């Protein structure tokens, strides 16, 4: 009897060890703060949720296959840039001259390498151009005509500015979603973040928000967390929100959840936006102080969620 119990105990210990040894990975995405389900039809809500679910499933499959977090966040944001529903890439918000000026950033938490672009007018996928800036130049941020020229020289797909302009963007409908972003943790335990946007509707030509500013709208550091922000960019720039969340964790030893709460409580005005954040333990925080934020997250443990309003 004792022998049987011992075998059973060994079996349970082995099972527990096997489960804990399974690779851990996770990702979170957002489609912008300010989305208000109270002013969206059922079809519109279902459309947003379906799009985010598809991006999450795509990212999970990549992470399960052993792809890097950097590749996953780029692919996720590219998918959202190609979707005219969101304020990034095709369908992006237009400036006061009726033109699209696009911003994006990407960051590798394993080595703090990062790249960003601002005021891009012809590169089809600004997030991929941001990665090219990171990997193929000694620079971090490139802007305007120079960034577009670099994209063309690098062989990235180029389009006319009209490609980005949709009727929804022209009319700036209330169902318009916002900035897009993704944070991810891969099986190697590395974090990455990426963000892309068309900025504010009716902005002055040349205005740049927080998305391409490393530490303001985008940040990733394995020693802290990965963050992508959405909302009123000027407020996130002034307070360096993305970097501040990670640094509070690193230097003050607080949890991810506590860091996000403290950062928002430290003078950030109400109704300005939100963040998605992820740490190396696979914990995520999807926080906002607007009426809503289209968002979702999933991991290797089977958790999977998508939401828009504050009720979930």
What is the DSSP track for 201-257? TTPPTT---STTSBTTTEEE-TTS-EEEEEE-HHHHHHHTHHHHHHHHHHHH---HH
Q: How far apart are CA 149 and CA 122, in angstroms?
A: 9
Element (H, E) at 196: strand 191-197
- Closest Cα to residue 114, out of 140, 83, 153? 140
User: Are the C-beta atoms of residues 195 and 180 closer than 8 Å to each other?
Assistant: yes
- Closest Cα to residue 221, out of 189, 252, 260? 189
Which of 50, 75, 179, 195 is labelled catalytic?
A: 179
- CB count, 10 Å around CB of 166? 17
Q: How far apart are CA 209 and CA 144, in angstroms?
A: 14
User: Which long-range contacts link 8-11 to residues 24+ away (Cβ below 8 Å)?
Assistant: none
230 is catalytic: no
Q: How far apart are CA 99 and CA 121, in angstroms?
A: 8
Q: How far apart are CA 165 and CA 156, in angstroms?
A: 20
Positive or negative, the CA dihedral 114, 118, 93, 239 is positive
3-state secondary structure 40-85: CCHHHHHHHHHHHHHHHHHHHHHHHCCCCHHHHHHHHHHHHHHCCC
CA–CA distances in Å: residue 159 to residues 8, 89, 152, 244, 271: 64, 11, 10, 36, 35
The residues that are catalytic are 179
């Amino acid at each position: 009897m004792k022998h049987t119990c011992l075998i059973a105990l060994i079996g349970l210990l082995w099972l527990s060890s096997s489960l804990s040894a399974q690779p851990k990975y996770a990702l979170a995405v957002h489609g912008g703060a300010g989305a208000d389900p109270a002013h969206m039809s059922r079809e519109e809500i279902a459309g947003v949720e379906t799009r985010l679910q598809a991006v999450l499933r795509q990212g999970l499959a990549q992470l399960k296959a052993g792809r890097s977090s950097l590749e996953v966040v780029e692919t996720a944001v590219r998918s959202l840039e190609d979707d005219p529903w969101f304020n990034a890439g095709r369908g992006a918000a237009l400036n006061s001259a009726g033109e699209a000026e696009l911003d994006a950033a990407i960051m590798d938490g394993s080595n703090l390498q990062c790249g960003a672009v601002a005021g891009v007018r012809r590169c089809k996928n600004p997030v991929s151009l941001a990665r090219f800036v990171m990997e193929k130049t000694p620079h971090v941020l490139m802007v305007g005509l120079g960034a577009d020229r670099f994209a063309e020289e690098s062989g990235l797909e180029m389009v006319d500015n009209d490609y980005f302009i949709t009727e929804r963007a022209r009319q700036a409908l209330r169902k318009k979603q916002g900035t897009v972003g993704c944070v991810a943790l891969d099986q190697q335990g590395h974090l990455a973040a990426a963000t892309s946007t068309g900025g504010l509707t009716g902005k002055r030509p040349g205005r740049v928000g927080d998305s391409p500013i490393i530490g303001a709208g985008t940040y990733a550091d394995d020693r802290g967390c990965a963050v992508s922000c959405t909302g009123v960019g000027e407020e996130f720039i002034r307070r360096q929100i993305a970097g501040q969340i990670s640094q509070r964790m690193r230097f003050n030893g607080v949890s991810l959840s506590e860091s996000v709460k403290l950062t928002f409580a430290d003078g950030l005005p109400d109704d300005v936006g939100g963040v998605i954040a992820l740490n190396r333990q696979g914990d995520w925080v999807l926080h906002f102080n607007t009426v809503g934020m289209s968002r979702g997250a999933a991991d290797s443990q089977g958790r999977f969620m998508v939401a828009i309003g504050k009720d979930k």
